[in-house]
Amino acid sequence: MTDSVGARVAPLWRRSPSPAYNARMRVLLQRVSRASVTVDCERVAEIDRGFLALVGVGHGDTAEAATKLAAKTAKLRVFEDEAGLMNLALGDVGGAVLAVSQFTLYADTRKGNRPSFTDAAPPEQGEAVYGAFVTGLRAADVPVETGIFGAHMQVNLVNDGPVTILLEG
């Protein structure tokens, strides 16, 4: 395979992460009053109050990193108490998590107008680490619903606040 000037290049799925690669797993949390996932016109998951967690996995990410981010997600105090302050965690408000795999969190847009996804983990690794994140949430007694890994999904949500927080670990 060659590029536009005739130099040989590896296919996208065989390229190494970019030199500026950030080896930290990414979880984008959106505090929601409700969220759902639909695949092929069928609702496959839904929650009421809690987090929509968009989970991105990079080449260097591990189950250990996923477990730590799951624990952080479970304990994150961004729900309002009776005084209107962000002091409560998921367990305090009876919240749940809708976890959706999202390799596009690793989009590199520094060059050109078409994002590169070479920093995202290959599907096998991504699915395993995403699974460890879900398992970690369940181990923390958080109710979890999931999208379907690798599927084309429609995600609906009502962002509460809005509150959106990026966790990296």
Catalytic residues: 102-104
- Contact partners, residue 22, CB within 8 Å, separation at least 6: 58, 119, 168
- CA separation (Å) from 147 to 34, 75, 85, 92? 15, 22, 31, 24
151: Cα separation from own chain's centroid? 14
Nearest-CA neighbor of 149 among 102, 111, 110, 115? 102
Separation CA 14–CA 136 (nearest Å): 30
